[in-house]
Amino acid sequence: MSAATPHVPTPQEPVPPQELLQLGTDADEPCLRADAARNRARLLEAAALLVAERGADGITMEEVAAAARVGKGTVFRRFGDRTGLLTALLDHSEKKFQAAFLGGPPPLGPGAPPVERLRAFGLAMLRRTADELELQLAAEADAGRRFTTAPRRVQRHHVTLLLREAVPDADCELLAHTLMAQLDPALVHHLVRQCGMPPERLEAAWTDLVGRITGSANAG
- Mean predicted confidence (pLDDT) in 110-124: 98
Query: What is the chain's length?
Result: 220
Q: What is the mean pLDDT of residues 202-220?
A: 88
C-alpha 190/C-alpha 197 separation (Å) is: 9
Residues 139-175 have pLDDT tens digits of 777 778 888 888 999 999 999 999 999 999 999 999 9
Output the 3-class SS for 58-109: HCCHHHHHHHHCCCHHHHHHHHCCHHHHHHHHHHHHHHHHHHHHHHCCCCCC
Q: How far apart are CA 184 and CA 33, in angstroms?
A: 37
Work out the mean pLDDT of the chain and round it to a whole number.
Answer: 84
| pLDDT bracket for residue 189 (50, 70, 90) | very high
Percent of the chain with pLDDT over 70: 84
Q: Is 147 helix (H, G, I), strand (E, B) or coil?
A: coil
- Reported as a pLDDT band with limits 50, 70 and 90, residue 67 is very high
What's residue 32's pLDDT? 56
Measured CA to CA in angstroms, residue 202 lies from 79, 129, 137, 190, 196 at distances of: 35, 12, 18, 12, 11
Give me the pLDDT at residue 5, please. Answer: 44
Is cis: bond before 113, omega within 30 of 0?
no
